[in-house]
Structure formats: structure tokens, C-alpha cells
Structure 1
Amino acid sequence: MDTSFKASPLSIPEYVLSPGGRPMPILGLGTAASPPVGSQVTKAAILQAIELGYRHFDTACLYGSEQPLGEAIAEAVSVGLIKSRDDLFITSKLWCSDAHGGLVLPALRRSLKNLKLEYLDLYLIHWPVSSKPGYEFPIKQEDFVATDFNAVWKAMEDCQRLGLTKSIGVSNFSCKKLADILAFAEIPPAVNQVELNPLWQQKKLREFCKANGILVTAYAPLGAQGTIWGSNRVLECEILKQIAKEKGKTVAQICLRWGVEQGISILVKSFNKERMKSNLEIFNWSLSPEEARKIDDIPQTRLCRGENYISKYGPFKTIEELWDGEI
């Protein structure tokens, strides 16, 4: 993977995903609203983001935001905010109930139909678990089943070979689970999207991914405050607040700039215009070595523990098993 920066027309650096991937702006907008909001609210926020300069959007079957994202893309083209769909980088994800070899391609086709697109730029396995076919969240404990990772990944590779997605990857995968995929993959994962912020820096995982040419994408870079599972502990961290005050920046900007300097891509989630604008203002300054060291020394704790993906019936009965001890 070529991880060199490439200037976009809007000065948002990009990573080029390989093999055969498109340039991915390193800062993108997540569309998972928790608690949920109406589709018109989502659509309006996405249009506002496009107008501000966002070109990377992340959705998933689970989020219920594929359709409003597709509508926003169509409107953005029609009113001239962008020249074509090709100006955007779009990611979606395979839900657990479709994480079966024979269901992957139909699931991607449904996502494309929802989005009214001919292809995705990136398609991810949302979680390293499978459930009985039939969409449901939260998944009932008795409905989890063992994942045939070989069959699922081969189907993901077929999706890329068919041109329905330019790149494929995973989300919420540990080093061990990534290694298992790499052992038989003909097309290796281009991306692993995981919780990552100054209070959960994922150093071991980042090192593993870098060594294997996998780009790490951070969700919850600000701690997912306001969601049913998130916390304000990142934005209220005293070390980050001190650095922000001394630098004349917001805590959010410090977190996002730190992520940029770690060589990862980042997904922010705000439908507030001023915060969306502020989150873009992270590319013309840097953290000092001392500031970076202070962040590096912050005590670490995982926030998204994945309780919804373990079951007393297996295949993962504990948090430790789900993350292979990376907690």
C-alpha cells in the first residue's frame, strides 16, 4: 500500500489503497447516528459536509444511512457541488447476518441499490462474527454462529474482482484475526476500521497493520460522546485539554491532528455545521514532540468492548475471546 500523501483539490491529504484502490481522503464523515435520526436530517448533513469539503463518507447496512447518503450524492451532483460520484470515496459494510459465503455478494448488491451506485470504494466486514440469516440488532445470543472466514473472504474478493467495490477490508479485527485472513487471502485487506483515539491508541494493532500494508481507520476518534455506548472521557481528558489550551485549538482538533500524525485515516461524526468545519482545520499545523509524548503516555482503556457480539453459546463467549486478549 502506498501511504504517501497526495494533495486533493480541497487540500485534504489522501492515502492510495492497494491493490487497485482509489485515493481515500484521510478524514471522512461517519453517518452512524446514535440515537437514530431521520433520513432527511442525515441527507441534509451529508450535503452540508460535501459543501464544506468532505469527500469521504462511511456508512453500513446496520446504520440505515445508505439510502439518504445515496440521495445526497445524487443531489450533490445535480446541483453542481461535485462533478460526479467519482469525486467521492464511499465505504459500506457487511452485516453479521450476511457474513456467510453465499450471502456476501447479494448483501453488497443491496447496499449498492440503496445507495443508487454502481460501485463502492471500500467494502468492509463489519464485525468478525456471523449470525443466522435475517437482519437483527442486537443479535440474540442463540443466533450467533461460527464464521467461515475463508468462504466469507473469498466472496469479498469476488466482489472486488467483479468491480462492485474497488477495495475490501475489515472492521473490529484483532491482530490474530487479521493474521488468520492474511494466511489464505489472495487479495489482502486494505483497511481495518477500529476504535482508536488518544485514550485507546491501539499501538500493537497499528504496528501489525503497518507491517502488513493495512491502513488503520479510526472510528470514535473523539470518544463517541452522545452515543449509547460512547463517553465524554476523551474530550474531558485533562492532558488533552491542557494541550488544546496552550495551542489555541479545540480538544477535538488535538485528537484529530494526533491521529493524522499517526499515519491513520479518521472518521468524524458530527452533523453540526460548525463542528464539521472545525474538524477540517487540522492540516496546517502540527503537535510538538513534547505534546506528542504527553499524549503517548495517557493511560489506555477500550471503550467499545463489543458486548453485543459475545454469547454464552459461542463462538466468542468473552470479551477476551472476541479481541484475542487485546483489551
Structure 2
Amino acid sequence: MASAKAMGQVEQDHFVLKSGHTMPAVGLGTWRAGSDTAHSVQTAITEAGYRHVDTAAQYGIEKDVGQGLKAAMEAGINRKYLFVTSKLWCTNLVPERVPPTLKNTLKDLQLDYLDLYLIHWPFRLKDGAHMPPEAGEVLEFDMEGVWREMENLVKDGLVKNIGVCNYTVTKLNRLMQSANIPPAMEMHPGWKNDKIFEACKKLGIHVTAYSPLGSSEKNLAHDPVVEKIANKLNKSPGQVLIKWAIQRGTSVIPKSSKDERIKENIQVFGWEIPEEDFKALCSIKDDKRVLTGEELFVNKTHGPYKSASELWDHDN
């Protein structure tokens, strides 16, 4: 696989979405962020130079993220230079719930608009559903109706771009049949899933890689191949993984609550991973545990999804 730079997909430190808007190549992820979320967001923006922050209503920290964003803007960062992403949770995947849910997110973030709003997972859950859900707790998902409401958010100026997370090729193809505004995509690099990645490239859909350093199941920074290349390039394993994602053609949203790591993670410009090493990183065996969604959605005894293959439309 040729690097993204060789294919002309990277413009300095950002990517251009199909809408024409630019997305910073590196953003701050806030999944499982702690009580210091506001500080981390402010530090990332005002001290480390981040201009992209990724969050979600389901994380339960949007008010904290909003405090960090407000502090950064009060420190002199203009809103128009920030790119803020949030997500619509599964219990709100009903057309009539989309506008009020987005407005609540904007209130918590203390913003007038989002730069990107994503469908968090392509499954509608009953209010109060167990995690993983039991039989009867995954409801019919009006994908087309929800997407129309997402498109209306763009028309109303409340959102600049819309997209999806964790979609399969099957679900993406279904969405594209009725979408007037094509989606952006967010996915996990620890399960490279070249099938959906290649499908996105053919459709001109930009992909963002979340949790680029791996997960609790598999810390990619400790992979021997990553460590060897990091030593060779005199970079940290985290920097190598972030740079690999960018060279592959994806933006990336590493998470950290440590100031020094936040600053380190964005120091990935002005150097390249050599082609030989890039290919070696691409050859690391996928670990589907990092993105099977088992913890959230697979209930092996009660269903409705009794395996990762069922959950992922047998794409994996």
C-alpha cells in the first residue's frame, strides 16, 4: 500500500473534506477522559496547538469539554479556527430526536455550531437498554430518516459536516443510496478493516481513526514492530502510530490526560515514516478485539447480536 503522501492526499497538517471544509490531521480524543477533561482540552488548544477536539454525548463529559473550549477561546483562540466533533448516541437514533439532541450538545459545549456531527453506532437502542443489549432492546433503525434530519442540521447552519462511526460496507452502501450529503467516517486503526477503508476511498469519504494507540485489549504502542521503528526514527511509539495513520490517509484523534503526552502526540509533522517502515506497520496483524463492539453490543446468550460477525454484517 502506497503512503497517503505519495498519493497526494495530505495537505500539510490537515485534510479537505468533501464539503470543502478542512479537518486538522490531529485532534484530541476525549473518550474515557477523566475529571481533568476541561484542563486537557484547554492545554491541547492553547499550549500544544491542537485545533480539533473530538467528543460525544455518551462520554458524559460534554460540559467539561465545553468549559475547556470556552477557556481556550477566552485565551484568544478564534472559534473559526477550531474543529469540534460530537456524536449522536444510539437511543436517539429517531428522526424527531435528532434536532433536540444536537441542541443539547451545543448547549453543553457552549457552541453555536459543530464542525462535525456523527452517528455514534448504527444501532438504535431502547431507552434504558442493557449494555450489551438483550433481546428486544435493539429497535428498528430508520437510517434514512435519521440521515435526513442530520442533513437538515447542515441546512440550518447548526452543523457543518455530518458522518458516521463504525459502519460496515453494507450499511454504508445503504446510506449512500439516499444520502444527499455524503458522510465522513470514523473508525479504529487497530482493526484496519481495509474493506471499509477502501470503500470510503472509492466514494471520496474521509476517515478519522480513533484510539490510534490501541485499546485496553491491545496496546499497539507495545508492538515490537512499532517499537523497532520508533527507535530507528528517534520518535515515541505513539508518534509513529499517529504518523502512520496520517500517512495512510486518515486524520487521527489520540487521547491523553497527561500534558506532556498531549504535546508529544501532535509533534508528527516535518518528518515521514520511510516507505519500508510504513509497509511494515501496515502488515501488523489486526486484532479485531479492539473493534468488535463485543463489550457494547454482543450478547452471546440473549442476542440480538450473538457474535461479532453478526454485529459487523459478516464484513470481518
Render the CA deviation track for 1:65-118: whole Å, top value 9, x for unaligned: 2111111222212222x1x22221000000000001111111111111111111
Cα drift, residue 138 of structure 1: 2.9
Query: Within the alignment, does 1:148 sit opposite 2:135 as a pair?
Result: no
Normalised TM-score (structure 2): 0.90
Q: 2:185 aligns with which of 174, 182, 192?
A: 192
Residue identity opposite 1:196 in structure 2: P
Residue identity opposite 1:69 in structure 2: V
Where 2:87 maps in the other structure, the secondary structure is: strand
Specify the alignment match of 1:10 in structure 2. Answer: none
Equivalents in 2 of 1:151, 1:288: separation in Å? 45
Query: Within the alignment, does 1:159 sit opposite 2:153 as a pair?
Result: yes
Equivalents in 1 of 2:106, 2:263: separation in Å? 29
Query: Within the alignment, does 1:277 sit opposite 2:268 as a pair?
Result: no
Q: 1:322 aligns with which of 308, 311, 316?
A: 311
Q: 2:37 aligns with which of 30, 39, 42?
A: 42
| 1:121-132 superposed matches below 5 A | 121-132=115-126
Unaligned runs of 5+ in 1: 8-12, 225-229
Render the CA deviation track for 1:236-282: whole Å, top value 9, x for unaligned: 11111111112211111111111111011101001111111111111
Equivalents in 1 of 2:202, 2:117: separation in Å? 22
Equivalents in 2 of 1:233, 1:32: separation in Å? 16
Report the count of equivalent residues: 304
| 1:1-327 superposed matches below 5 A | 4-7=9-12, 13-19=13-19, 22-33=21-32, 37-38=34-35, 41-51=36-46, 52-80=48-76, 82=77, 84-132=78-126, 134=127, 138=131, 140-141=133-134, 142-189=136-183, 191-197=184-190, 200-224=191-215, 230-302=216-288, 303-307=290-294, 308-311=296-299, 316-327=305-316
Equivalents in 2 of 1:214, 1:135: separation in Å? 33
Equivalents in 2 of 1:99, 1:114: separation in Å? 20
Where 1:27 maps in the other structure, the secondary structure is: coil
Q: Retained in 2: the 8 A contact 1:218–1:265?
A: yes
Normalised TM-score (structure 1): 0.88
Residue identity opposite 2:293 in structure 1: G
Where 2:27 maps in the other structure, the secondary structure is: strand
Where 1:62 maps in the other structure, the secondary structure is: helix
Q: Retained in 2: the 8 A contact 1:144–1:314?
A: no
Cα drift, residue 317 of structure 1: 4.0
Quickly say closer, same or farther: Cα 1:216–1:98, change in 2 above 3 A: same
Quickly say closer, same or farther: Cα 1:45–1:241, change in 2 above 3 A: same
Quickly say closer, same or farther: Cα 1:128–1:71, change in 2 above 3 A: same
Equivalents in 1 of 2:258, 2:105: separation in Å? 26
Q: What is the root-mean-square deviation of aligned Cα atoms in Å?
A: 1.9
Structure 1, 45-54 or 299-308: larger mean CA deviation: 299-308
Quickly say closer, same or farther: Cα 1:163–1:139, change in 2 above 3 A: farther
Equivalents in 1 of 2:150, 2:303: separation in Å? 24
Cα drift, residue 139 of structure 1: 5.5
Render the CA deviation track for 1:175-234: whole Å, top value 9, x for unaligned: 111111001111111x1111114xx3222211110100111110111003xxxxx23441
Identity of aligned residues (%): 37
Q: Retained in 2: the 8 A contact 1:256–1:266?
A: yes
Q: Retained in 1: the 8 A contact 2:133–2:297?
A: no
Residue identity opposite 2:89 in structure 1: W
